[in-house]
Structure 1
Amino acid sequence: MYATPAVLIARLLAGELDVAMASSFAVLTHPELTLLREIGVTNTGPAWSVRLFSRVAPASIRTLALDTSSRSSVAMARIILAERYGVQPVCLDVAPHLEMMLADADAAVLIGDTGLTVNAEDVIVLDLGEEWHALTGLPFFFAGWIARDTAALEKATPMLRASLEAGLARLEEIAEEEAARLGIPASRCYAYLHDVMHYHAGEAELAGLEAFRVRAQRWGLLP
Structure 2
Amino acid sequence: MEKIRISIVSFINSMPFKYGLETSDYIIENSIISNDIPSECARKLIHDEADIGLVPVAAIPEIPSAEIISDYCLSSNGNVETVLLLSDVPVDRIERIYLDYHSRTSVKLVKILCRYYWRINPEFIPASENYEKNIQKTVAGLVIGDRAFKIGKQFGYQIDLSNEWIKFKNMPFVFAAWVSNKKIPKKYLIEFNKSIKKGTSEIDNVINSYSSKIISDAHLKSYLTESIRYELDDKKREAINVFLELAAKV
Which position in structure 2 is the counterpart of 1:9? 42
Which position in structure 2 is the counterpart of 1:190? 221
Q: Per the alignment, do residues 16 and 80 of structure 1 end up closer, same or farther by CA in structure 2, a change over 3 Å counting?
A: same
What is the rounded CA distance, in whole Å, between the counterparts of 1:120 and 1:68 in structure 2?
21
Deviations 1:96-142 (A, max 9, x none): 64642415971101111012332433531111111010000101111
Code of the residue aligned with 1:214 in structure 2: it is E
Q: Identity across aligned pairs (percent)?
A: 20
Counterpart check, 1:204 vs 2:235: yes
Counterpart check, 1:19 vs 2:48: no
Counterpart check, 1:59 vs 2:92: yes
Quote how far apart the aligned CAs of 1:49 are: 0.8
Structure 1 range deviating more: 81-90 or 127-136: 81-90
What is the rounded CA distance, in whole Å, between the counterparts of 2:221 and 2:128 in structure 1?
28
Q: Per the alignment, do residues 161 and 55 of structure 1 end up closer, same or farther by CA in structure 2, a change over 3 Å counting?
A: same
Q: TM-score, normalised to structure 1's length?
A: 0.87
What is the rounded CA distance, in whole Å, between the counterparts of 1:126 and 1:65 in structure 2?
14
SS in 2 for 1:7: helix
What is the rounded CA distance, in whole Å, between the counterparts of 1:29 and 1:13 in structure 2?
7
SS in 2 for 1:207: helix
Q: Among residues 201, 204, 207, which one is paired with 1:172 in the alignment? A: 204
Q: Per the alignment, do residues 181 and 215 of structure 1 end up closer, same or farther by CA in structure 2, a change over 3 Å counting?
A: same
Structure 1 range deviating more: 185-194 or 24-33: 24-33
Which position in structure 1 is the counterpart of 2:139? 106
Quote how far apart the aligned CAs of 1:207 are: 1.4
Q: TM-score, normalised to structure 2's length?
A: 0.78
Q: Among residues 87, 105, 108, which one is paired with 1:72 in the alignment? A: 105
Which position in structure 1 is the counterpart of 2:172? 139
Q: Per the alignment, do residues 94 and 178 of structure 1 end up closer, same or farther by CA in structure 2, a change over 3 Å counting?
A: farther
What is the rounded CA distance, in whole Å, between the counterparts of 1:86 and 1:51 in structure 2?
18
Unpaired segments of 5 or more residues in structure 2? 1-33
What is the rounded CA distance, in whole Å, between the counterparts of 1:58 and 1:153 in structure 2?
48
SS in 2 for 1:180: coil
Which position in structure 1 is the counterpart of 2:67? 34
Q: Per the alignment, do residues 99 and 72 of structure 1 end up closer, same or farther by CA in structure 2, a change over 3 Å counting?
A: closer
Unpaired segments of 5 or more residues in structure 1? none
What is the rounded CA distance, in whole Å, between the counterparts of 1:144 and 1:122 in structure 2?
30
- How many residues are paired up? 217
What is the rounded CA distance, in whole Å, between the counterparts of 2:191 and 2:129 in structure 1?
33
Quote how far apart the aligned CAs of 1:213 are: 1.4
Asked if 1 retains the 8 angstrom alpha-carbon contact of 2:88 and 2:137, the reply is: no
Code of the residue aligned with 1:159 in structure 2: it is E
Code of the residue aligned with 1:192 in structure 2: it is Y
Code of the residue aligned with 1:127 in structure 2: it is D
